Amino acid sequence: MGTQREPDAVDAILAQWHRERPDLDVTPMGPIGRINRCSALLQRRLDQTFSAFGLTNWEFDVLATLRRSGAPFRLAPTTLFSALMVSSGTMTHRLKGLEARGLVQRLAHPDDARSLLVQLTPDGLALIDRAVAAHVANEHRILAGFKGSELSALDARLSKLLALLESAGE
């Protein structure tokens, strides 16, 4: 016996497809459509918090990746762009902007004179520490409607989906 829920926007789309193409099994459209809508709506709420700190989503990601790497909050650009799943050209452009704002600095690599490392500046560290605290509080607010067991079950199912998608390659 399933639990009753209020119809959502995806239900309306599914109903239209059932009416127009009853020959198609559109079942996958339900979870994928909901994940896509959730992603868009979540990103709006996350961006509100980032913008309160003068950051965009990608700027937050770069600074947070450096911060969670641990002291001295320094990584090779290749490690950064691999972690953030962007091209090296995109990363170079993004780093220039963060460097111009005084949030990161590029330093000579002590073990390889041909390469540089990217490091948070003191200002960048202070900013990301404030922003990540607000970000986590925002995430708590976003998920506050879930009981602990519901959140654990959701996390487990999303983890399974992520593993399936990652194992399929790009």
Task: Give the burial class of 5: count Cβ atoms within 10 A of its Cβ; 0-12 exposed, 13-18 middle, 19 or more buried.
Answer: exposed
Nearest to 143 by CA among 131, 154, 132, 134: 154
State residue 79's pLDDT score.
Answer: 85
Residue 20, pLDDT score: 96
Residue 94: its pLDDT value, please? 84
Residues of the chain with pLDDT under 50: 1
pLDDT of residue 89: 75
Residues whose CB is less than 8 angstroms from the CB of residue 36 and which lie 6 or more positions away in sequence, other chains included: none
pLDDT of residue 1: 47
Residue 52 vs residues 37, 63, 95, 155: alpha-carbon distances, Å:
23, 15, 21, 28
User: Alpha-carbon distance 12 to 152, whole Å?
Assistant: 28
User: In 3-state terms, what secondary structure has residue 8?
Assistant: coil
